[in-house]
Amino acid sequence: MVHALVPTNVMCRHAIGLNHVAIGIEIVQATHGHTSLWADQQILARPAQIQAVLALVRKLQAQFGIATSDVIGHATANGHRLFLDKQGWRNDHTDWQAPNVAEFRSRL
């Protein structure tokens, strides 16, 4: 099930340094003591959940002209070309690391 908690025209805090250009999508998966990499892989392996997320991202890409290369995860946010934080903050989230982002993008 997909829930829109905030309209896309409202800026919220989701990913430090990218809130000015990001649409945050939160995918629920507990780690149960495992790594974020493990949690991401659980999501990628769950057909109904990943299909819903892919459909949502495709819709947002079409609506807002978002390139697949700009579909990123928290763990890759600090290195994104649009990253901007004037306070010196950085994301410390480890979810959606580069290998799983690449897998997600390949399915778009």
Q: What is the pLDDT of residues 33-48, one digit of tens each?
A: 999 999 999 999 999 9
pLDDT band (50, 70, 90) for residue 5: very high
| Average pLDDT, integer, range 72-95 | 94
Stated pTM of the model: 0.92
What is each CA distance from 66 to 44, 46, 48, 59, 62, in whole angstroms?
A: 21, 25, 23, 10, 7
| Average pLDDT, integer, range 23-37 | 93
